[in-house]
Amino acid sequence: MATGWNRDHESRGITQGGKISQETFIDTYDPSVLRREQYMLYEIKWSNNKRPRQNCCHSTQTEHAEIYFLEDVFQKQRSDPSAHCFITWFVSWSPCGDCCKQIRDFLKEQPNVKLFIYVARIYWHKREINRQGLRNLMNIGVSIRVMYLPVYRYCWRTFVDKEDKYEDYWPRHFAPWIMLYSLELQSILQNIPSCLEVSSDENYTPVFSLCVEDEEQKRALTSANPY
Ligand SMILES: [Zn+2]
């Protein structure tokens, strides 16, 4: 069906009404499992419009969710170019280095846009291109944080389809992973070497080890306040 709206980015686990299914959210935003799929829950608020737009999308084999958002979703949403716009993304993986470059170019052309990014996990966190990409975003004013428990709660209430399966959702067992990813994000943004080893076993369960040897790194990390 040839519509301007590319449904490929809103097909798997997303309802017609633009909500993510409970199963998909629980599965893809769990930081204790390394799922490949990249999902994005997004919120766009305009200064001249009280109702925010809230919706969901995912990456396809050929295009990451971030690029789909910038090139399709945002372009269809914009009206008055002088209005200020606040965009919040809740992504299951942090943006890759290539997406960070495009996000940066986009924001340079859109000085009225402020972007907040919450990530459930950090994408290939040891690759310098990805680390530098996140730092570059921070340097132009993008807020990047790891999703913490109240944020999961907010996403559940806002973006997840109301089904009968699960009434409530409070993923307490995420806390250690949230802490580890927060420490790693802190070291990325402060440009100090990674202290986190994440590998996975055959069940996609991450195996973490933390190795902090350097005194400067230790100081920087203990001053981190992920919450
Ligand atoms: Zn990407």
CATH at residue 80: 3.40.140.10
Tokens (6 digits) for 64: 């990451």
Domain assignment present for 159: yes
The residues assigned a catalytic role are 66
pLDDT digits (tens, 9 = 90+) for 98-138: 999 999 999 999 999 999 999 999 998 889 999 999 999 99
Q: According to the model, what pLDDT value does residue 26 have?
A: 92
- Would you give the DSSP letter of residue 14? B
Average pLDDT of the residues of the chain: 86
Return the biggest CA–CA distance within the chain: 59
How far does residue 103's CA lie from ligand 1's centre (Å)?
A: 10
- Rounded CA-CA distance 208/57 in Å is 29
pLDDT digits (tens, 9 = 90+) for 37-83: 899 999 999 998 878 999 999 999 899 999 999 999 998 877 777 88
Domain assignment present for 133: yes
Domain assignment present for 218: no
Domain assignment present for 182: no
Supply the range of the domain harboring residue 131. Answer: 8-174
pLDDT class of 207 with cuts at 50, 70, 90? low
Evaluate if residue 209 carries a pLDDT over 70: no
How far does residue 34's CA lie from ligand 1's centre (Å)?
A: 16
Q: According to the model, what pLDDT value does residue 4 have?
A: 45
Residue written as tokens 């973006």?
159
How far does residue 216's CA lie from ligand 1's centre (Å)?
A: 31
Q: According to the model, what pLDDT value does residue 217 have?
A: 56
Three-class DSSP category at 19:
coil
How far does residue 28's CA lie from ligand 1's centre (Å)?
A: 16
Instruction: Evaluate whether 169 touches 157 at the Cβ level (below 8 Å).
Output: no
How far does residue 89's CA lie from ligand 1's centre (Å)?
A: 13
Domain assignment present for 36: yes
Domain assignment present for 199: no
| H helices present in 51-203, as ranges | 65-68, 74-77, 97-109, 128-139, 149-159, 175-189
- Rounded CA-CA distance 11/77 in Å is 20
How far does residue 67's CA lie from ligand 1's centre (Å)?
A: 7
- Rounded CA-CA distance 23/131 in Å is 30
Domain assignment present for 144: yes
Tokens (6 digits) for 107: 């924001």
How far does residue 68's CA lie from ligand 1's centre (Å)?
A: 10
Domain assignment present for 201: no
174-197 exposure pattern, b = at least 16 Cβ within 10 A, e = fewer: beebbebbbbbbbbbbeebebbbe
In the chain, how many domains are there? Answer: 1
Reported pTM? 0.85
